[in-house]
Amino acid sequence: MKRILLTGSEGYIGINVQEYFRETNYEIVPLDARMGVEAEDYKDFEKDKIDGIIHLAATAGIIQCEREPQEAVRNNFWSSCNMFESALLHGIPCIFTSSQAAKDPMSSMYALTKYTSEVSANIFMDKGADIKVLRLTNVYGGVGYLRKKNSVMAIFARDTLKGESKVINGDGGQMRDFIHVEDVCRAIHLALESKPVDFPIDVGTGKGTSILELAKMFGGTFTFNPDSDTIGLSSNIANIEDARKYISFETVHSVESYVTAIKSMTMDDVIKLKL
């Protein structure tokens, strides 16, 4: 059984990766700042007999990175450099979860740290490292999502469960590519077992859903906040051709099925299922 170092193991995606990999032939070795070890400082690859890396650790989200830019650089860039260098030195594969935001690095500190990490990955790949960069779109669902995240899907879901009106930032025309966390976990698994790829791969559904459409799916009432400073890009949709070609990835889950499931739940269900 191969041992895979999972950085950011206690974060939202990390918890779901651990759940997913219980059913595979990989053993997850968790690493998280909450455990007292930063990803940028970890060096025990030989001691812990690490056969591969899934690098999730990061300061997530635009707002947090803007508030604490030095921490964002340390957590997002320096941690990545350590993982990439270690992958090269020990001859092991590394899966790095980047973001669609990296396509527009000047848009935010978060985008810049993801982009510079991708550039660093390319430098180490040129030296022979096996690093696969997965640019995730808007991840939703799974364990801990409604408790840990404040993305639009989570906010609308919680509002629906509470019977409250939803607030749409801007005019709701922003297009987003929502991908379920179980699909993300499967993409990571496939990437671990695929041949090296020396360029970023988009991981999403390739389908756009507007924020207004999403609100209407959940039902109930909603209002608009045209002056919000968190409207974001007008469109953010993955090009999934490379994911299909190089890691044989296709999505399974749909936004519609998730929304339907949420609308059939109560808050007690959410607590019981640890959602």
Cβ atoms within 10 Å of 81's Cβ, excluding its own: 16
**Average pLDDT over every residue of 3-14:** 97
pLDDT in tens, 39-67: 999 999 999 999 999 999 998 888 888 99
Measured from the Cβ of residue 266, the count of other Cβ atoms closer than 10 Å reads 9
The reply to whether 138-178+205-238+253-275 shares the fold of 1-136 is no
Token pair in block for residue 147: 């408790």
Length of the chain counted residue by residue: 275
CB-based contact 209:255 (threshold 8 Å)? yes
Fold of 138-178+205-238+253-275: UDP-galactose 4-epimerase; domain 1 (3.90.25)
Domain residue spans in the chain?
1-136, 138-178+205-238+253-275
pLDDT digits (tens, 9 = 90+) for 163-222: 999 999 999 999 999 999 999 999 999 999 999 999 999 999 999 999 999 999 999 999
CA angle at 83 for the pair 81 and 87, rounded to the nearest 5°: 115
Q: Per the structure block, which two tokens stand in for 24?
A: 């595979």
Is 90 exceeded by the pLDDT of residue 1? no
Q: Please check the confidence at residue 231 and state whether its pLDDT lies above 80.
A: no
Distance CA 217, CA 222 (A): 12
* Distance, CA of 197 to CA of 133 (rounded, Å): 8
The CA distances from residue 5 to 52, 83, 129, 163, in Å, are 6, 10, 16, 41
Q: Return the CATH superfamily for domain 1-136.
A: NAD(P)-binding Rossmann-like Domain (3.40.50.720)
**Residues 154-167, mean pLDDT to the nearest whole number:** 96
The predicted pLDDT at position 233 comes to 75
Cβ neighbours of 246 (radius 10 Å): 17
* Average pLDDT of the residues of the chain: 95
Query: What is the per-residue pLDDT for 227?
Result: 84
pTM for the full predicted model: 0.96
Distance CA 13, CA 181 (A): 7
Residue found under tokens 């995606």: 13
Task: Decide if pLDDT at 72 tops 90.
Answer: no
